[in-house]
Each structure stands twice: as C-alpha cells, then as structure tokens.
Structure 1
Amino acid sequence: MIGNIGLVVGLALLILLALRGINILLAVLISILVIGLTNAIPITDIFLKHFPFGPSGAFSFAGNFLLLFLCGAVFGRVMAASHAAQGVAMGITKRLGVQRTLLIAMLVCALLTYGGVVVFVVMFTMYPIGVTLMRQANIPRRLYAAAIALGAGTFTMTALPGTPSIHNVIAARNLGTDLFAGGWYGLLAAAVMAGIGMWYLQSQWRKAQANGENYVTHAKDEQMAALAPRPDQQLPSLFASVLPIVVVLLMIMLPRVLQLAGLSADWISFANTQPVLWSSFALLCGVASCFVLFAPARQAFWATAGQGVDDALLPLINTAAVIGFGGVVIQTAGFHQFATWLVELPVPPLLSVFFSANLISGITASASGGLQIFMSSLAPVYLEAGVSAEILHRVANIAAGGLDSLPHSGAVIALFTLMGLTHKEAYKDIFVVTVLIPIIAALVVVAAAMAFA
C-alpha cells in the first residue's frame, strides 16, 4: 500500500514540478527518490543502477540514441544557417497566401520535421516568420502556436512512415522492423490528424473573428520578428530549399526500395536492421547537401555544427531523464500490477496496445519516453499474443503520441515559453490538436487494423 501511494505521489510530484518550471532532471531525481524509498528500493540501486543503466535507464537510452539526436540537431542548425528552412517557409507562404497562415504553419512544420529537423529548431524557425503572418492575417497567437504543434508534434512524429523521428527509430530498433512498418496505417492516421486538426483550427479562427478576438502583440514578438528574413533578403528557392530534406528521405527509402526489388547486399541488410545508424547517416547526407548547395552553410560551418551539437544535448538529457524515471517506476510492484491489468483487459490486443502506450506516455509526458518504456516492458507480451511486429510498431507509435502532450509536457512548456503564452491562454487548442485528435486517429487505425488483419 505504501509503495503504491509513493508511486502516485512521485508521479504527482513530477507533474507539479514540471508545471512550475523546475528543471526536468531535478524534478525526476526528486520524484524517483520518493518512489524508490516508499517501495523499499535501495538508494544505491535507484541512482546507480535502475535510473542510469537499467534496460530503461537514462544513460542506456542516451548511449543508444546519442548519434541520432546529434545528427538531427546538426541538420536542423545547418538548414537554418543556410536559410533553407526559411526558404521553405517563405516559399510556401508566397504560393498559398497570408490568408492561409494556419495551413502554412502546419505544412512547413510538417515538411521540416518529416525531413528530420528537430522540433525545437522548427519552433525557432517558424515563430519569427509567424509574427508577420499573424499580424497581417490578424490571427490570435494561441492558434498559431497550435498550428505549429499540429505540424511539428503529431503526424510527422509518430504516424508518417519513413521519418527519422526518434519515436519511429525506437520502435524499429526494439521490434526489428524498419522505419516504414505499418505504412498504410500511418498514412491513414496522418490524414485524420492533419485533416481534422486543420478543420478545428480554421473553425476556431472563424469563431475568434466573430467574437472580435484579434492578434495581440507581445514583447517576445518584437524580439523574434527581428530574426525573420528581411523583405530584401535573398533566400533559396522553395525547390532548392527542400532538396536537403528530399536527400534525407531518399537515403532512408533507398535500402527498402532495393530490397523490395529483390536486390541484396551487406549494406542493404545493415541499413534495414540498424535504424539509428542509417537514419543518422541519412541526416549527415542532408547536412552535406546543404554544404554543397548553399554558400551561407559553408560560412562558419564547424561553428554551426557545434551549435547543433549543443542543441541536441538538452533534449537528449531531458528525454533520457524521463526514461530513467520510467526505469525506476518499472521496478515497483505497483507498476507490474498496473501492467498486468493493462495486458489482461478484456479487449482485443490492439486496443490494449492503444491503452497501454497512451497511459505510459501520459505518465511520463513524453511520447519517446513512454514508447521506450512500453517497448522494453510490454511489447514482448503483445508479440507473444500474436500481434505482428509491423502493426505493433505503428499502433504503439501513434498511440504514444496522444497523452504525451499533457500540461507538464516539456515540448508544450517550451512552446509556450518561446511564444510568451500561458496554459490558460493556449492549452485548450494544444490539447485538441495534440491529444484529442491523435487519440481519435489511433482508434481509427486500431479499428482498421482489426478489420483488415
């Protein structure tokens, strides 16, 4: 009983500290101390075994995925330094017009994140450009923030096949699948998320106009607007700007295409069985293409790459800390009772996967953290129950992207901090597009997989 109470208190403490803006690593260390002591776990095992080096340990995760984080962050920095990221944004804006600002924000964020640009770089790219767009279209800042979240943190993160996102790679690495596993179901989920999400945002914009809600400037807007491309600044064309993203995706697709064509080689087998290394290599090819195509990328290249490395460390540490939290939690009797209850629910296995991945991601407020814990602790049970690895890969990925965006989510807090928004002002729209609609999409995929399996 005391152990279960400590588990609940530790989880509540993590959420409370995160909402108060306490560093997530400090919040995790305090929370696991409470959980460990109330569950009679020796303190040496808490901090020197389960948290750092266990199967779901912080350093175990960081060691396995360090290269992918680094390559993704360097690619994002070089895309920004080369002005290619801004070229994508401005190119799409010119073609669609300011009146489609919300659609532009979603499309640009989706394109950049699908190509491997890390979410935080996308936020910093889109916000300065968005200040001008919000002013011209008179869009409330809360809706623009939700459009960024929809494009950068939903369907390209968990649903679209082939993306080098950490979530897709975690599933592939643990299940022995490739990044395209369950691709058709992923496309279905992406269509649901993007379609319903954009319908919701457009309807909220019309409602805001009817209620007289307008764009209201903020001190952060003025600071960020200065970082936006000047009207007279020469940016790469849209075609040239997307080429590095195309290079990344083609490199990821190439081994699978060759394999489907019946070709075999050691490097093809390596690429299809080593998603971390091959995705990292694809991102480095994207970096090389930026270097070749864009002169600004060649200016202070190593300094830019170094900044990318710096960009990678904080997200890696934060994600690893959350996973290390889970590494302690899964040692408790309460978690095993909870996991047993989830697995033994009187529902079809895929529906049980939906509940399990969602709830664990909600507990950790991290899709990647929840997915890693799910894969290490529960995935083998579902494989034994007859769920195919490909379907499990995609359903678990999509489900993990539901409750991960609760108020204590690090990505949500980072977006609000960047844009000077509060949870009271903007969380409702974020909740709809990053929690409610992804849950609907996951249920649609579960129903489709059960119908066609």
Structure 2
Amino acid sequence: MLGNLGLLAGLALLIFMALRGVNIFFASIFAALVVAVTNGLFIPTALLDHYASGQLGAFSFAGRFFLLFLCGAIFGKAMATSQAAKSIAMAITNTLGVKRTLLVGMLVCALLTYGGVVVFVVVFTMYPLGITLMREANLPKRLWAAATSVGAGTFTMTALPGTPSIHNVISASSLGTDLFAGGWIGIFAALIMGGLGMWYVERGWTKARSTGEGFVENAQDRRMEQLIGDPEDCPPWFLAMVPMVVVLGTIMLPRLILGMADWSESTSAMAGILAFSQSQPIVWPSMALILGSLTCVVLFRSMRRQVMSVFGQGAEDSVMPLFNTAAVIGFGGVVTQTAGFAAFAEWIIGANLPPLLSVFASASVVSAIVGSSSGGLQIFMQTLAPTYLEMGVQPEILHRIAAIASGGLDSLPHCGAVIATFMIMGLTHKEAYKDMFVVTVAIPVIACLASIGLLMALGIGVVPPAG
C-alpha cells in the first residue's frame, strides 16, 4: 500500500515541479527518491543503477541516442542559421496568404519536422514569423500554438513513416524494424491527426471571430519579432528545400535498393549499403542528417563563413533536449523496479483486451507517467514490448502503434514540450492548454484507436503464437 502511494506521490511531485518550472534534473531525482524510499529500494542502487546507468538509466539512454540528438540539432541549427527554414516558411505563407494562417503554421512545421529539423528549432523559428501573421489576421495566439503543435508535435513525430524522429528510431532500434515500418497505418493515423486537428483550430478561429477575441501583443512578441531579419537575406525556397530532400533521400535509399532486388544481389556496394542501414537504425538517420547539414554548407554562403561556429552551437543545443529526455527516463527506470509497476504490467497484459488495445493502453500510461512520448516509448520497448511480440503482435505493427500511442497522453500539463512551447509564445496553461490538450492528446488518442480498429477489422497485425 505504501509503495503504491509512493508511486502516486512521486508522479504528483514530478508533475507539480515541472509545472512550477523546477529544473527537470532536480525534479526527476527528487521524485525518484520518493519512489525509492516508499518502495523499499536501496537508495545507492536506485540512484546509481536504476536511475543513472541501468538498462533504463538516464545515461544509458543518453549514450545510446547521443549521436542522433547531436546530428539532429546540428541540422536544425544549419537550417535556421542559413535561413533556409525561414525561406520555406515565407514561401508557404506567400502562397496561401494570411487567411490561411493556421494552415500555414501547421504545414510549415510539419514539413520542417518531417524533413529532420528538431521540434524546438521549428517552434522557435516559426514564432517570430507567426507574430506578423497573427497580427494581420487578428488570430488568438492560443490557436497558433495549437496549429503549430499539430504540425510539429503529432503525426510527423510518431505516425508518418521515414522520418528521423527519435520515436521512429527508438522503435526501429528496439524491434529490428526500419523507419518505414507500419507505414500505411501510420499514414492513416496521420490523416486523422492532421485533418481533425485543423478542423478543430479552424472552428476555434471562427468562434473567436464571433466573440471578438483576437491577437493580443506583449513585450515578448516585440522582442521575438526582431529575430525575423531581412527577407532578402533568405535563399530561394527551392534551394532551401534541398537539404531536407537530401536527408529524406538518404533515409529512403535502402528502400530504393530493396525495390531493385537485382542490384542488391549483384552489386556488392549496394548490398553493403542495404545491410549497413538495416543493422544501424541510429547511425543511418544520423548520417542522413549530417549529409543534410553539409548540403547547407555547400549551398548557402552564410553557412560557409561560420560553419564550425554553427556546428558547435548545434552540438551545444543538443545537450539539454537529450538530458531532459534522459532525466524522465531515469525516473521511469526507478519506477519500473517497483512492485506497483510490476503489478501494473501484469494487470495490463493479463487483462482481457485484444493485444493491440493492450499495447495502446500500456504505452499511453507509461508516457503519461513520465510526461514524454520518447521517454515513455523507450520504457515501453524495454519492459513490455517483448511480451507483446510473444503474444504474436507483428514487429512492424508494434513499431507504429506503440509510437503513435506514446504521442497521446504524453502531452499532459507536465510535458516538457508543452511547457517550452508556452514559454516561447508567452502563454499560460490557463490561456492555451485546453486547445493544446485537444490537438495533442485527444485527437492522437482517437487516431490511434481508429488505426487499431482498422487493423482489427482487417485481421492484420497479430499472428497467434504457434501451438
């Protein structure tokens, strides 16, 4: 009884401190200590093994995925410094116009994140441009936050195949699949997330106009708007797209080789590339991101003048997102050692639920506990995924459904991405969380359940174990 109360108390403390802006390292360690003490875990073991260096330890995760975070941050910094990201955003804005401000925000964020630019870079790059659009359209900021989150924090993060997102890579490296696993069901879920998300924010804008609600500027907006710079300094949009094409093209290369079976069988170089990419689900997308960064150097003169500085700043930018994610995984590593977590795992697996619904429930709950989709997905893959494979869930379907499920209940109020987005835009949870909840929690949950329903209706995804 005390142990279960301790689990709840640790989780409540983590949520409370995250909402209060307490440093996530301190918050996660303090919450982990509460869990350890109330569950009778040996404190040195809990902190030095389960939290730090065990199978689900913070630094075990950081060491394993450091290269991907590093390369992603460098690519994002190169796209931002060269103003390629801004060029793409302005091109879409000029094409669609102010009346389509919400669609502009969603599409730009979706394009940039799918092309490999990390979420925080996209949000920080888009917001200064968004201020001008919101002012001209008289759009409430809460709806801009929701629309950009649809593009940057839902379907491109977990559902669409091929993206070098950490969620895609965690699933691939854990299950031995590739980044395109479960592609068609991911596209189905992405259409639901994008379609319902945009319907909700557009409907919200219509209601806002009818009640006279509009854009309210603050001092932070004026400071952020100064970051826009001179539009004449941006490269042409078609050149700005090239680095992202390089990233996605490199990731897709193994699939193209598979489509040309004779080549892969007769050409040792092609066969070698295919074998390497399939055996290195972390290194291969990291290489793609570095090639994209080098493409920025070749194409954009502003990058060539400061390449080492930009790459160095990108490397520094990778540290905090990596360690923030690692910190919540460390907390989860302690939680997984408790009798309460073992009882939860036994209950959810033993419950009379279809396997795919059980996957959804377990991945969702774990992500909700740590307030991180990537953290929750990593814990799920290390602790529960093997059991679902034994139950007959196909690895490709498990890859995609678990990734989509992790991106629902993760965005509760203590989610780091939600907090950071509100900080950048000068919003509070009271002002904007209702809309954020709908587009990043409720709609992804609907999309995941609809995907599972379609798979079950088609009889796809689960093969009963032999015997």
What TM-score do you get using the length of structure 1 for normalisation? Answer: 0.99
Distance in 1 separating the partners of 2:447 and 2:229: 36
Match of 1:427 in 2: 433
Judge conservation of contact 1:68–1:280 (CA < 8 Å) in 2: yes
Pair 1:11 & 2:17 matched: no
Q: Which amino acid aligns with 2:72?
A: G
Pair 1:345 & 2:347 matched: no
Where do residues 65-84 of structure 1 align in structure 2 (5 Å cutoff)? 65-84=65-84
Match of 1:260 in 2: 259
| Shift in Å, 1:20 | 0.7
Distance in 1 separating the partners of 2:323 and 2:369: 18
Q: SS at 2:439's partner residue? A: helix
Match of 1:53 in 2: 53
Pair 1:43 & 2:39 matched: no
Alignment deviations for residues 63-90 of structure 1 (CA, whole Å, 9 cap, x no partner): 0000000000000000011110000100
Pair 1:269 & 2:275 matched: yes
Distance in 2 separating the partners of 1:306 and 1:157: 25
Where do residues 220-259 of structure 1 align in structure 2 (5 Å cutoff)? 220-231=220-231, 233-259=232-258
Match of 2:170 in 1: 170
Distance in 2 separating the partners of 1:333 and 1:130: 48
Distance in 1 separating the partners of 2:453 and 2:294: 42
| Shift in Å, 1:261 | 2.1
Q: Which amino acid aligns with 1:59?
A: F
| Shift in Å, 1:22 | 0.3
Q: SS at 2:55's partner residue? A: coil
Where do residues 207-222 of structure 1 align in structure 2 (5 Å cutoff)? 207-222=207-222
Distance in 2 separating the partners of 1:229 and 1:189: 37
| Shift in Å, 1:440 | 0.5
Q: Which amino acid aligns with 1:23?
A: N
Q: SS at 1:61's partner residue? A: helix
| Shift in Å, 1:267 | 2.4
Q: Which amino acid aligns with 2:239?
A: A
Paired-residue identity, %: 60
Distance in 2 separating the partners of 1:40 and 1:321: 21
Distance in 2 separating the partners of 1:428 and 1:229: 33
Distance in 2 separating the partners of 1:100 and 1:230: 23
Distance in 2 separating the partners of 1:296 and 1:137: 32
Match of 1:2 in 2: 2
Match of 2:300 in 1: 294
| Shift in Å, 1:98 | 1.1
Alignment deviations for residues 43-67 of structure 1 (CA, whole Å, 9 cap, x no partner): 1101111111111110110000000
RMSD of aligned Cα (Å): 0.8
Match of 2:409 in 1: 403
Distance in 2 separating the partners of 1:446 and 1:267: 34
> What is the count of residue pairs matched by the alignment?
452
Where do residues 39-438 of structure 1 align in structure 2 (5 Å cutoff)? 39-231=39-231, 233-262=232-261, 263-264=264-265, 265-438=271-444
The answer to which of 156-165 and 266-275 deviates more is 266-275
| Shift in Å, 1:234 | 3.2
Distance in 2 separating the partners of 1:83 and 1:297: 10
Pick one of 424, 432, 454 that aligns with 1:448: 454
Distance in 2 separating the partners of 1:273 and 1:414: 35
Q: Which amino acid aligns with 1:348?
A: P
Distance in 2 separating the partners of 1:451 and 1:298: 54
The answer to which of 298-307 and 419-428 deviates more is 298-307
What TM-score do you get using the length of structure 2 for normalisation? Answer: 0.96
Distance in 1 separating the partners of 2:329 and 2:53: 11
Q: Which amino acid aligns with 2:255?
A: R
Moved over 3 A (4+): none
Judge conservation of contact 1:93–1:104 (CA < 8 Å) in 2: yes
Distance in 2 separating the partners of 1:171 and 1:147: 27
| Shift in Å, 1:239 | 1.3
| Shift in Å, 1:260 | 3.1
Distance in 2 separating the partners of 1:351 and 1:43: 36
Q: SS at 1:387's partner residue? A: coil
| Shift in Å, 1:359 | 0.8
| Shift in Å, 1:266 | 2.1
Distance in 2 separating the partners of 1:82 and 1:449: 43
| Shift in Å, 1:240 | 1.2
Judge conservation of contact 1:391–1:449 (CA < 8 Å) in 2: no
Distance in 2 separating the partners of 1:110 and 1:334: 38
Distance in 1 separating the partners of 2:417 and 2:448: 21
| Shift in Å, 1:395 | 0.3
Alignment deviations for residues 422-451 of structure 1 (CA, whole Å, 9 cap, x no partner): 000000010000000000000111011112
Distance in 2 separating the partners of 1:144 and 1:237: 26
Distance in 1 separating the partners of 2:177 and 2:53: 25
Judge conservation of contact 1:58–1:321 (CA < 8 Å) in 2: yes
Q: SS at 2:233's partner residue? A: coil
Distance in 2 separating the partners of 1:326 and 1:173: 19
Q: Which amino acid aligns with 1:102?
A: L
Structure 1 spans left out of the alignment, 5+ residues: none
Q: SS at 2:427's partner residue? A: coil
Q: Which amino acid aligns with 1:8?
A: L
Q: Which amino acid aligns with 2:384?
A: L
The answer to which of 58-67 and 299-308 deviates more is 299-308
Q: SS at 1:275's partner residue? A: coil
Q: Which amino acid aligns with 2:387?
A: V
Q: Which amino acid aligns with 1:440?
A: I
Alignment deviations for residues 245-287 of structure 1 (CA, whole Å, 9 cap, x no partner): 1110000000122023211512211102211100000000100
Distance in 2 separating the partners of 1:64 and 1:374: 16
